[in-house]
Amino acid sequence: MTSPTANTTSPSTPADGAPAAQEPARYVHAEAEPRWQRFWEETGVFRAVRHEGRPKRYVLDMFPYPSGAGLHVGHPEGYTATDIYCRYSRMKGFDVLHPMGWDAFGLPAEQYAIQTGTHPAETTRKNIDTFRRQLKMLGFSYDWEREFGTIDDNYVRWTQWIFVKLFERGLAYQDKVLVNWCPALGTVLANEEVIDGKSERGGHPVVRTPLRQWMLRITAYADRLAEDLSLVDWPEGTVSMQRNWVGRSEGATISFDVQGFEGAKIDVFTTRPDTLLGCTYVVLAPEHALVEKITSAEKLPAVRAYMQAAASKSDLDRTSEKTKTGVPTGAMVIHPLTGQAVPIWVGDYVIGSYGTGAVMAVPGHDERDFAFAKTFELPVIEVVSPDGKLHDSLDAAYVDEGILVRSGKFDGLKSTDGKRAIVDELVALGKGAPKITYKLRDWVFSRQRYWGEPIPVYFPVDMKDPAGDPRKGDEHVIRYDKPIAVPENELPLRLPNLVDFRPGEDPQGPLARAVDWRFFQKDGQWYARETNTMPQWAGSCWYYLRFADPKNDAEPWSQKAYDDWMPVDLYIGGAEHGVLHLLYARFWHKVLFDIGKVRHPEPFLKLVHQGIILGEDGEKMSKARGNVVNPDDIVKGYGADCLRLYEMFMGPLEAVKPWQSAQIQGVVRFRDRIFSILTGRPLVDAIDDATKRLVHKTIKKVTEDIESLSFNTAISAMMVLLNHLGSLKELPREAAKGLLLCVSPFAPHVAEEVWRLWGNERSIALEAWPTFDPTLCVDDVIEMAVQVNGKVRGRVTLPVKASEDEARNAALTAEGVSAFTTGKTLKKFIYVPGKIVNLVVA
């Protein structure tokens, strides 16, 4: 390093093309930050390149959806954290892949297109431009050469290719599924979008109707999706959510014969076969296939009315309603062990698409069944007792395991043994079997929308008139039972350029209106393309793999690119993606593992969720509340480095924190003092021992804190060192350099500016991370508490290697201690260097 005064007068650009630094009188962020951002981009400082023999780190942000609103200050929190970690990792000698792209299909862009008549591709590209500008404005060290969007043809091509692989393995199939269909909106709605039987948007009636859908057989991977969570370093809460969503349950299927209907039976699944003798009724879902067949003529009108009412409710409404409703069918089943007749009810809290669509009700040992039985005055029988004693009445359901009672030959067995014995009996009778089930259901993959990847499948069309043309409306039948995958050499299958994006009343979706695109002829045979599109999840299921090889036209990624960068070493994003995105991405990855395209069973080794940054009112930022803070305004007023520093200094990365604009001034002063102190004083070679020790302690602290993503405490440590240097008239060169290198990942623009003013020609981002001497990080003296009979009575400062005699003499003379030792006999002295000083007196 040279003195900063040696190279500050010329505004010309140095020979290596780096921007000229300005006079050190004052740091002007509006001039310096754009200049350094241009330099980084033009010189490719952050281009991801693998070097033989060097370790790698693949650090990924969760794929952002580029909304029209642009970023607010909550968004850059996670991006800043990954950027600090990446800049630090490069300085530590790692090859780093740190990419950025866009999750660009989805409903918001389509809704905007419908409202304005603007093509969603146009609005999406405009939104991407805004997001890109804002991210570059913050100085993030992305390799922008790897940027892509899920709407890019060459990305859609390989998303469709993966779908074809799923199709070829029998993991993509068609089924008729009960969905929430809104005729007025012309679309299928998610359960969360239906409130009291009406659409959340517009309040239109919603009906439950079976609709042909493409499904992905994620249930085939249920065990692996649960078991492989042991291979990753994820937040425990997210791991639990993943396991609970899969919902693996061990139990038994039990068959109940329907009385009076030969061959008709109702199968149920239970995790508590030990309670079977307490079953006093059976409940069917309104959509169960047997309901109308077995219901008595007397009960049929009420049952049909109940079924119609249930069809207007979402699954979420039905399962979350506190008061359970139901109607009797008048039919009975035969209990498989006792032979007694048990009534059959219909209840909408039982969902037809979940499990068998039927449950055996044991009100003595299930809270929901207990409430239902009390409402309709049905019998409640205790068959599991906590202590083996009989109780004549129950004030509430006993839901824990215990000892079987009122269960005939199974009485006295513990629940664990009772489960096994009862299942064995059912197997012997041909009335049941052990079974493992999952809450996880196959993934409904179809969307009756326009703005999504076309599903690469087509179907033969049978024409009534062989010379007819389906595009003209001639009578025809589409053979949905004979799907054909689009050949790989014909991918990508692109969307037609529609003018009207409205879903319409046709449940096949808006693509059904694009007849010239939908129907085509080959070798004299007419075919019809699939008109459903993929959900937004599809593009984000595998984007991390494409970042390894984004320009590859021959394959989705090469094996070399995969081996160079995968798996993802650190993945940071919002906890709201703790279930579905992660589950779907892991599912696709495991399929790709099975076909030999990836080598690791899990894609994301370490996962961290950044906390939410609330508005200044303590509420979540939203336009509706008017509490959104635009990062453009913060950068304009204070600079990108200050936004980065403030968001990292607010508190732990994972914590929820309120934005407080007034507090930014603290980091503004810190940044400005970095510049003024490090450029305004001469650099000298000499360094005193206290300063040297503080420098090495700071480097150690910042290094460890970055590795653990504890950025707020790292900044605090740098502030302490800066304050110390500010008290010196001359700056020890070692101290100034050590501090600036530590600062550079956090506030890269001001660090580059100071670095250039010191006369260095290449970017500080290319410098090695500073090292520390562990022996200089240990204090020579230490303050310890002095205990008398186990209670702290004073404090002493001792050399780290103080002898027992030195410690005893210091303790006996310490302020506040003599009052508790005078006139007493020292019975014992306990001394553990650096930990305990205890005088035992009597």
Indicate the annotated binding residues. Answer: 623
Sequence-ordered alpha helix ranges (H) in 138-280: 153-168, 222-227, 236-246
- Under a CB-based contact definition with an 8 Å cutoff, are residues 590 and 222 in contact? no
- Under a CB-based contact definition with an 8 Å cutoff, are residues 222 and 246 in contact? yes
Q: Return the residue matching tokens 């409202």.
A: 115
Give the span between the Cα atoms of 715 and 717, in whole angstroms: 5
Specify binding-site residues for ATP.
623
Give, to the nearest 10 degrees, the angle between helix 631-638 and helix 664-680. 40
**Secondary structure element (H or E) that encloses residue 405, with its range:** none
Query: Before 120, cis peptide (omega within 30)?
Result: no
Please work out, in degrees rounded to the nearest 5, the angle formed at the alpha carbon of residue 164 by the alpha carbons of 160 and 169.
150
- Under a CB-based contact definition with an 8 Å cutoff, are residues 724 and 698 in contact? no
- Give the C-alpha distances (Å, rounded to integers) separating 207 from 167, 182, 184, 194, 315: 30, 7, 11, 10, 12
Give the span between the Cα atoms of 299 and 302, in whole angstroms: 6
Give, to the nearest 10 degrees, the angle between helix 120-137 and helix 107-116. 120
- Give exposure, 304-321, as e/b (b: 16+ Cβ within 10 Å): eebbeebbbbbbebbbee
The sign of the dihedral angle between the CA atoms of 470, 518, 217, 169 is positive
Give the span between the Cα atoms of 326 and 361, in whole angstroms: 13
Q: Judging by DSSP bridges, how do beta strands 731-732 and 683-684 pair with one another? A: parallel
- Under a CB-based contact definition with an 8 Å cutoff, are residues 179 and 211 in contact? yes
Residue 297 one-letter amino acid: A
Q: Residues 138, 144, 146, 149: what is their CA dihedral angle, to the nearest 10 degrees?
A: 60
As given in the structure block, the two tokens for residue 796 are 């002493």
- Under a CB-based contact definition with an 8 Å cutoff, are residues 433 and 419 in contact? no
515 beta partners: none
Give the span between the Cα atoms of 594 and 165, in whole angstroms: 11
Read out DSSP for 780-802? SEEEEEEEETTEEEEEEEEETT-
Sequence-ordered alpha helix ranges (H) in 377-506: 415-429
CB atoms within 10 A of CB 384: 27
The sign of the dihedral angle between the CA atoms of 141, 144, 145, 146 is positive
As given in the structure block, the two tokens for residue 731 are 């700056």
- Under a CB-based contact definition with an 8 Å cutoff, are residues 302 and 333 in contact? no
**Secondary structure element (H or E) that encloses residue 229, with its range:** none
- Under a CB-based contact definition with an 8 Å cutoff, are residues 731 and 678 in contact? yes
Give the span between the Cα atoms of 403 and 394, in whole angstroms: 16
**Secondary structure element (H or E) that encloses residue 110, with its range:** helix 107-116
Please work out, in degrees rounded to the nearest 5, the angle formed at the alpha carbon of residue 386 by the alpha carbons of 384 and 390.
65
- Under a CB-based contact definition with an 8 Å cutoff, are residues 277 and 340 in contact? no
Q: Judging by DSSP bridges, how do beta strands 613-614 and 657-658 pair with one another? A: parallel
Max Cα distance, the chain (Å): 119
